[in-house]
Chains A and B, each alone.
Chain A
Amino acid sequence: MTTPKPTLAVWKFASCDGCQLTLLNCEDELLQIAGQLQIANFPEASSQVIEGPYDVSLVEGSITTPGDAERIRRVRRQSRILITIGACATSGGIQALRNFSGDLAPLVYASPQYIDSLRTSTAIAEHVQADFELRGCPIGKHQLLEVIAALLSHRRPNVRGHSVCIECKRAGLSCVMVAHGTPCLGPVTQAGCGAICPAYHRGCYGCFGPMETPNTKALAARWRELGATDQAVHRAFRTFTAAAEPFRKEADAHDAR
Chain B
Amino acid sequence: MRYVLDLGGLGQLLAALRQRGFRLIGPVVADGAICYGEITSAADLPAGWTDEQDGGTYRLKRRDDGALFGYNVGPQSPKKYLFPASATLWRSHPPGTADTDDEKPFAFIGVRSCELHAIAVQDRVFLGGQHPDPLYAARRDGAFIVAVNCGQAARTCFCVSMSAGPKADAGFDLALTELTGEGGHRFLAETGTPRGEEVIADTPGAQPASPRDATAADQIIERTAAQMGRAMPAVDLRDLLYGNLEHPRWDDVAARCLTCGNCTMACPTCFCFSVEDVTDLAGRAAERNRSWDSCFTLDHSYIHGGPVRTSARSRYRQWMTHKLATWTGQFGTSGCVGCGRCITWCPAGIDITEEVAAIAADT
Contact = CB atoms under 8 A, between A and B. Distances in A.
Interface of A: 29, 32-33, 35-36, 145-146, 148-150, 152-153, 155, 158, 160-163, 165-166, 169-175, 177-181, 184, 186-188, 201, 211-213, 215, 217-219, 222
Contacts of B30: 174
Contact of B57 (A165, A178, A201, A219): A178
B261 A32 contact: no
B292 A170 contact: yes
Interface stretch (B130-138, B157-165, B225-233, B251-259): B251-259
Contacts of A33: 281
A27 B164 CA distance: 53
A32 B281 contact: yes
Given A145-B281, A158-B276, A187 B86 contact: no
B265 A165 contact: yes
Interface stretch (B19-27, B169-177, B341-349): B341-349
B101 interface: no
B141 interface: no
A178 B344 contact: yes
Most buried by B among A33, A172, A184, A188: A172
Most buried by A among B35, B259, B278, B294: B259
B266 A169 contact: yes
Given A155-B277, A162-B261, A163-B259, A179 B59 contact: yes
Interface of B: 30-33, 35, 56-60, 74-76, 80, 85-86, 255-262, 265-266, 276-283, 291-294, 296-299, 310, 312, 344-349
Contacts of B32: 174, 179-180, 201
A198 to B, nearest CB: 9
A162 B60 contact: no
B55 to A, nearest CB: 10
A162 B297 contact: yes
Given A36-B281, A218-B256, 14 more contacts: A160-B297, A162-B294, A163-B260, A165-B262, A173-B31, A174-B31, A174-B58, A174-B75, A178-B58, A179-B33, A179-B60, A180-B32, A186-B260, A218-B257
Most buried by B among A29, A165, A171: A165
Contacts of B260: 163, 165-166, 186-188, 211
A219 B59 CA distance: 20
Contacts of A152: 279, 281, 283
A125 to B, nearest CB: 19
Contact of B292 (A32, A163, A169, A219): A169
A184 B347 contact: yes
A170 B291 contact: yes
Overall SS of chain B's interface = loop
30 contacts: A29-B281, A35-B281, A36-B282, A36-B283, A148-B281, A149-B279, A149-B280, A152-B281, A152-B283, A162-B261, A162-B296, A165-B261, A165-B265, A166-B297, A169-B266, A169-B292, A170-B86, A172-B85, A175-B345, A175-B347, A178-B56, A178-B347, A179-B58, A179-B75, A180-B32, A186-B260, A187-B348, A188-B260, A215-B255, A215-B256
Given A177-B56, A179-B60, A187-B260, A218 B348 contact: yes
B309 to A, nearest CB: 10
Contacts of A178: 56-58, 75, 344-347
A111 to B, nearest CB: 48
* 8 pairs of A and B residues whose beta carbons are closest in the complex: A169-B265, A187-B260, A174-B31, A170-B85, A187-B258, A165-B260, A162-B297, A174-B33
A162 B344 CA distance: 21
A78 to B, nearest CB: 24
B298 A166 contact: no
Contacts of A171: 85
A212 B298 contact: yes
A253 B33 CA distance: 34
B58 to A, nearest CB: 5
A142 to B, nearest CB: 10
Nearest to B349: A222
A148 B278 CA distance: 11
B92 to A, nearest CB: 13
Contacts of A219: 258, 347-348
Contact of A166 (B265, B278, B348): B265
Contacts of A213: 259, 298, 310, 312
B27 to A, nearest CB: 13
Contacts of A149: 278-281
A188 B258 contact: yes
Nearest to A149: B281
Most buried by B among A33, A153, A166, A171: A166
Nearest to A188: B258
Contacts of B60: 179
